[in-house]
Chain A
Amino acid sequence: MTFKTLTKIATGVYLLFSVAFSAVAAEKIVIYNWTEYIPEGVLAQFTKETGIEVEYNTYESNEVMYSKLKLQNGKGYDIIVPSAYFIAKMSKEGLLYPIDTKKLANFSLLESTLLDKDYDPKNKYSVPYVWGSTAIGINSNDIDRQSITAWQDLWDKKWRNSLLLTDDVREVFHMALRVNGHSTNSTSETEIKQAYELLLKLMPNVLVFNSDAPREPFLAGDVSLGMIWNGEVIMAQEEDSAIEYIYPKEGAAIWVDSFAIPVGAKNKDNAHKFIDFMLRPEVAKRTVEYLGYATPNTAGIALLDEALRNNKTIFPPKEIVEQGEFFSDVGEANKLYNKYWEMLKAGQ
């Protein structure tokens, strides 16, 4: 076979592929979501109903998602699911495309308390997907759950080398800031430094940092106490009901993750269709059942079993929400947090 025939074949194959690709590309959506953050079967149902192919990618931190979009100037994905304080940051930097809520038939189902927040006035760039909290996880077989009531309790010397912390700078600092009586969203260098000094004293107690799936070390029996997200506890309870959730008296950290459309998205219409699909009461219901996080969708909540609807781990009582604090963008103070976070990790 001569080289010419080889090239001919190669060109042929290439053409064939590009034709196949463009056929698929006609109706497509690229989603970039947190790991384990969508109920099983939902994507398949979406494709079946709309004919839109889904390309699904995942990330495990806001920072990773942000870095990627920043680098690609907001191109490459049609749907992302940042936390509230990243919505603020990214919209300020022009990375997000305004969402037309008129195209979302189900938008009116959303709870008004989670709409029109400081991080995104009038929900110009984001539609809330789920919300949850970061508090204390405990294995009640190993530790008496009555003995832990506050973040402060984690500093007890008897927990040497045994705690789990999430690998997230803002969440870990939340704990120390609140113990010191300061705000989660403090931008004062003295307060952040004080929090760091307090955290230094916590470090001998820390066994592991985990933000992939904090429930895993609990389930594997490697830790019995530490920070965790409420949804992880719900998932863990399916395997081991001894894993419980405690709202510390200094206040839990509360966060909302919302759908947003990057400014460079290729399939903006499909992205709207997808968001509206996810806002269906039946999908919202399945989301709570699968993820263990709360939905802001009132019609979805109404569909839930009474046991789930009244589960305090998923839907915290009003006073706990008021006592807790939502994360917001701290702007330039991010540098301070990161600086002290690195020093903390390097053991200085």
Chain B
Amino acid sequence: MNISTFSSLINFRRVVITLTLSWLTLFVLLPHLMVLLTSILSPDSEHLVVWPITLDNYTRIFEPIYANIFWDSLLLSGTTTVICLLIGYPFAYFLSNMTPTLRVVLLFLMVVPFWTNSLIRIYAIKMIIGKKGIINSFLLTTNIIDTPLQILYTDFAVVIGLVYILLPFMVLPLMASFDKLDKNLIEVGRDLGASAVNRFIHIILPLTAPGIIAGSLMVFLPAMGMFYVADILGGAKTLLLGNVIKNQFLVVRDWPFGSAFSVFLIVLMAALLAIYHRANSYIQQKGGLDDENL
């Protein structure tokens, strides 16, 4: 390599780093700082925000009405996470045991829908579960039911939509965990006479715990913010935390409160990530095995 190409390489690296940093500053750091600033200003009906700095916006988050919405949101996101885990865990297990080719094909099939905008896919679900949708038409023509089921515009429909969109985020970290799982440990367990249930509880489950936690976080947190799923499939009745924020910005025009709510969500997310980090290092420390019971 001669000197000139070497120096242009360094230049190139510098350019890339500068570009990335300015991108992040401009589109991530600055907007967040603006949100943070807005969250401590006062709302005003004629101007979006006015000066006196206040913490009222944060205290308002703890009003009972928002506690209610928070609880509902938590319940919906929690249900979504559990269902994703119940479907995703066995699926990830099978995936990790497949031949590489089959595995690539299955992963590909899982990711393909992501090439279509999620909003469009949510509209498709709407057509499937509506009163004249595919499910109801099928059940009606086969005489299994005689009045159409009300699935669309219920909490259940919201959960269906959330699970559908978020499932891959559960499967991918779980699969990574299963890949790292040392099959020899299971062999050893079997040789030492541990039953299948015991092998699962004492070896597989603890070793894939980081995947479970990571997957759950990646489903749970976005689920609370997906306002359009609640709007389209839930009939705009059930409010996720994302709906509250959207309404504050677009309808009520109380930007400070909307910002405070966003900051609150970010803090919550950070706290959950910290817990994940703790749990992860705890598992690493113990070698991943809950040896107390062995």
Contacts and interface: CB of A to CB of B under 8 A. Distances in A.
20 contacts: A2-B4, A2-B8, A3-B8, A63-B250, A63-B251, A63-B253, A64-B250, A66-B253, A67-B250, A70-B48, A208-B236, A208-B237, A220-B131, A220-B132, A221-B132, A221-B148, A222-B153, A332-B45, A335-B45, A342-B247
Interface of A: 2-3, 61, 63-64, 66-67, 70-71, 93, 161, 167, 169, 206-210, 220-222, 332, 334-335, 338, 341-343, 345-348
B131 A3 contact: no
Nearest to A331: B45
Interface residues of B, number: 32
B288 interface: no
B239 A93 contact: no
Contacts of B46: 93
A146 to B, nearest CB: 24
Interface of B: 4, 8, 11-12, 15, 45-46, 48, 64-66, 68-69, 127, 130-132, 148, 150, 152-153, 235-237, 239, 247, 249-254
Contact of A167 (B15, B150, B236, B252): B236
A153 B48 CA distance: 40
Contact of A61 (B68, B236, B250): B250
A346 B8 contact: no
Nearest to B48: A70
Contacts of A64: 250
Contacts of B69: 346
A335 B130 CA distance: 36
Contacts of B4: 2
A63 B252 CA distance: 8
A345 B237 contact: yes
A169 B8 CA distance: 60
A47 to B, nearest CB: 29
A207 B148 CA distance: 15
B34 to A, nearest CB: 12
Contacts of A341: 251
Contact of A220 (B12, B45, B130, B253): B130
A338 B64 CA distance: 17
Contacts of A346: 65-66, 68-69, 239
Contacts of A161: 150
A347 B155 CA distance: 14
- Identify the interface centre among A210, A220, A222, A334: most chain B CB within 10 Å of its CB: A222
A295 to B, nearest CB: 29
Given A169-B251, A208-B235, A334 B65 contact: no
A161 B234 CA distance: 12
A334 to B, nearest CB: 7
Given A3-B11, A61-B250, A67-B249, A347 B68 contact: yes
Contacts of A221: 130-132, 148
**Closest 9 pairs (CB-CB, A-B):** A208-B235, A209-B236, A221-B132, A338-B252, A221-B131, A208-B153, A63-B251, A222-B131, A207-B153
- Identify the interface centre among B4, B11, B237: most chain A CB within 10 Å of its CB: B237
A156 to B, nearest CB: 18
Contacts of A332: 45
A242 to B, nearest CB: 14
A209 B237 contact: yes
Nearest to A337: B252
A335 B46 CA distance: 12
A111 B45 CA distance: 34
Contact of B251 (A71, A93, A338): A338
A127 B153 CA distance: 39
Contacts of B236: 167, 208-210, 345
A64 B251 CA distance: 7
A136 to B, nearest CB: 18
Contacts of B239: 345-346
B145 to A, nearest CB: 15
A335 B64 CA distance: 19
Given A64-B250, A338-B252, A222 B130 contact: yes
B131 A207 contact: no
B65 A343 contact: yes
Contacts of A71: 48
A208 B48 CA distance: 30
B220 to A, nearest CB: 21
Contact of B15 (A3, A210, A334, A343): A3
A164 to B, nearest CB: 8
Given A209-B235, A334-B45, 4 more contacts: A161-B150, A206-B237, A332-B45, A342-B65
B125 to A, nearest CB: 13
Nearest to B5: A2
Contacts of A207: 150, 153, 235
A210 B235 contact: yes
Contacts of A222: 130-132, 152-153
A167 B4 CA distance: 64
A19 B205 CA distance: 62
A201 B173 CA distance: 46
Contacts of B12: 3
